[in-house]
Amino acid sequence: MLTFTKGLFLSLLMVVTWLNPVAGQSDDGHGSHPEGNSHAEEKFDAGKFVIEHVLDSYEWHIASVGEKHINIPLPIILFSKYPELHEGRKLHIFMSTKFHHGHEDYRGFRLSHSEEYNGKIVELDAHGHEIGRPLDLSITKVVAGIFVSVIVLFSLLFVAAKTAKRNRGKAPSGIQNLLEPVIVFIRDEIAIPSIGEKKYKKFLPILLSLFFFILLNNLLGLIPIFPFGANVSGNIAVTMVLALFTFAVTNIKGNKHYWKEIFNPDVPWWLKYPIPLMPIVELSGVLTKPFVLMIRLFANMLAGHMIVTVFISLIFIFGSLMGPAAGYGVSPVSMVFSVFILLLDVLVSFIQAYVFTLLSAIYFGMSTAESH
């Protein structure tokens, strides 16, 4: 019980420091760039604070204690477009600490603060001017967050698979017990009704993978303690790839009837000839479906993260506008609202994972439906 209370206190402390607005103010002011000086004043910028919390970054910021920032450095992997500027090498791998939070250039690369490439790594020419971005395959915070959730996902599911193998024909136990109702739900309430009794088996693995991957990323994104809390499912590149997988499976597994419905639907001939009106509409539908999937998940999860940070930053907005007393006065209200929104986000996490999976299943079902 004592260790639990201690752990709870520690995690609360972590939450508070994690949300420390000092982090939002960045560490500029004494950097090597002329742009850095504009951020020197000690004013709390709520917009910047909120956006920086949901944006990707090259290092994983854990907490700031006063002026000291605790960061987990992440590997940076770059393919230069101008190898002659970087000691003749194309591939560059180094840790993010080399930039010293953007205060220093390294090997002809810079963590940009310019209008165009803000926060991104750019290549520098011989005179120190930014000339464009290299091919940037760095393990950023979001990628690291994906790795973390994949590790969690694998350990959960492999344990479940092991018990499933051991408990053949017997009652489920442990994590298997936790996951099986969800798996059964996806099979019986999503896959079978949307795809049909005959073909659902082919699509079940991808649907389950999508659901658990999204759900886990959503939920882990709500935990503000390292190594969780990265805004993975609120990152548009992540949701885009998820939607692309649905898109690819839908169109690769699409049967003759599916393609006929797109290019030669059963509509009056003048809708298809001479202007292929319906095919154009149908084809755009093929593209909008994954697009909508991408936007929905991204926007929902991003909004959840943003609202929580906005409520927290309210404390500091009030604090900076009317003095520390107002900040302390507002903090309980902000906390209550944040907790409420977080709980709401737990619900949203499940709903979005469900909706994404359900719509994917419906698209799969549409692409494999027989003509009626």
Q: Could you list the residues that contact other proteins (CB under 8 A)?
A: 51, 54-56, 77, 118-119, 135-140, 142-143, 146-147, 150, 153-154, 157-158, 160-161, 164-165, 167-172, 176, 179-180, 183-184, 187, 204-206, 208-209, 212-213, 235-238, 240-242, 244-245, 302
Residue 141: closest CA among 51, 47, 65, 72:
72
- Residue 92: its H or E element: strand 91-95
- Minimum distance of other proteins from residue 100's CB (angstroms): 21
Write the DSSP symbol of residue 36: G
CB atoms within 10 A of CB 111: 26
- Minimum distance of other proteins from residue 28's CB (angstroms): 18
H helices present in 167-235, as ranges: 175-185, 192-195, 200-222
String of DSSP letters for 299-315: HHHHHHHHHHHHHHHHH
C-beta of 86 vs 327, nearer to other proteins: 86
C-beta of 32 vs 118, nearer to other proteins: 118
C-beta of 39 vs 272, nearer to other proteins: 39
Q: How far is CA 173 from the centre of its chain?
A: 32
C-beta of 75 vs 276, nearer to other proteins: 75
C-beta of 206 vs 359, nearer to other proteins: 206
Quick one: 356 exposed, middle or buried, by C-beta within 10 A (0-12, 13-18, 19+)?
A: buried
- Minimum distance of other proteins from residue 246's CB (angstroms): 11
- Minimum distance of other proteins from residue 34's CB (angstroms): 22
CA distance 32 to 127: 15
- Minimum distance of other proteins from residue 62's CB (angstroms): 21
Pair of tokens at residue 288 = 């909008």
C-beta of 90 vs 260, nearer to other proteins: 90
Pair of tokens at residue 268 = 């009056």
- Minimum distance of other proteins from residue 292's CB (angstroms): 14
Pair of tokens at residue 186 = 């996806």
- Minimum distance of other proteins from residue 206's CB (angstroms): 6
Pair of tokens at residue 340 = 């409420």
C-beta of 246 vs 334, nearer to other proteins: 246
Grouping H, G, I as helix, E, B as strand and the rest as coil, residue 131 is: strand
